[in-house]
Amino acid sequence: MRGENPIFVHPGQPASGRAVSGIRRVYFMRLAARSGILLACVLTALFAPGQYRILKGWNFFEKPSAFHLLWLIWVADMFFQLVPVKNRLPLGSQKLFRLRFRPNMEAITHQYHALRRHIVETTKAACKVMLIWIALTAALVFLRWKGILSDIALFLVSAAFNVCDLICVLIWCPFRLILKNRCCTTCRIFNWDHLMMFTPMLAVRGFYSWSLLAMALAVFLVWEVCVMRYPERFWEKSNEALRCANCTDKLCTQYCRKLRA
């Protein structure tokens, strides 16, 4: 019977009755991989700290190492936030592109003021997050300036934030308390992740950190320009793709408990 198949459980039934989505499964694998990378970085700091000389100046262009591979992974992640991808990336990250936009013309035409109010309110909330992050970054830079933290320590903080990023997506996100967003798909700051991840390395003077920060800043600026230029893509009432009823990612922890229109 159809009702006995867990894939076809009624939307009102609990989460245990639904299959895990493909993207959510991939994200759990990515979380495991990032955790493994963090552990490897910590062990390298303890037993082979000389490997971290790549962080200094132009040492990036010396002999290849595992840190070059990690750099490539991070750069690739950011690159795919700058180009439209149809199905393989979550909508929360790709909603700035026309390719993933499903317009509700009635809302766009007749609810302009509501759309504007939504963008203003979510941008104010995003600014609060940014101020908190600037304060945290300033504290880390100050500790580096005082010699309490090293370049290696700042790199490890970034690697830890790399793990926390997916914990926010898959388990619990403290920024929801400020942003008041329903889920990652509607998140105002989804593509801020790499900028927030790499800002601890702001005080690390070398091509490794400079290049990552530059590309993260580019991703951030493209995102913000699109929010201002195409606000209708970031509001679930004007973009049908953002509605729970149309969700294909099913990344959030609530999607199995309640399907909202």
pLDDT tens-digit readout, 41-89: 999 999 999 999 999 999 999 999 999 999 999 999 999 999 998 877 8
Q: What is the pLDDT of residue 240?
A: 95
The pLDDT-based confidence of 18 (bands split at 50, 70, 90) is low
Write out pLDDT tens, residues 195-211.
999 999 999 999 999 99
DSSP string, 180-241: --SSGGG-TTGGGHHHHHHGGGGG--BHHHHHHHHHHHHHHHHHHHHHHH-GGGG-TTTBGG
Q: Looking at the predicted structure, is the pLDDT value of residue 16 above 60?
A: no
Q: What is the pLDDT of residue 6?
A: 34
Separation CA 141–CA 180 (nearest Å): 30
Write out pLDDT tens, residues 146-197.
999 999 999 999 999 999 999 999 988 999 999 998 889 999 999 999 999 9
Structure tokens at 113: 């003021």
Q: Looking at the predicted structure, is the pLDDT value of residue 17 above 50?
A: no
Q: What is the pLDDT of residue 107?
A: 87
**Amino acid, single-letter form, for residue 70:** L
Write out pLDDT tens, residues 122-148.
999 999 999 999 999 999 999 999 999
Q: At what angle do helices 151-170 and 112-145 cross, to 10 degrees?
A: 150
Write out pLDDT tens, residues 203-253.
999 999 999 999 999 999 999 999 999 999 999 999 999 998 888 888 876
Distance of CA 72 to the CA centre of its chain: 17
If you average pLDDT over residues 8-15, what whole number do you get?
36
Separation CA 116–CA 124 (nearest Å): 12
Q: What is the pLDDT of residue 86?
A: 80
* Helix, strand or coil, per DSSP, at residue 154: helix
Nearest in space to 95 (alpha carbons), one of 166, 184, 23, 196: 184
Separation CA 233–CA 148 (nearest Å): 44
Beta bridge partners of 206: 57
Q: At what angle do helices 207-229 and 112-145 cross, to 10 degrees?
A: 160
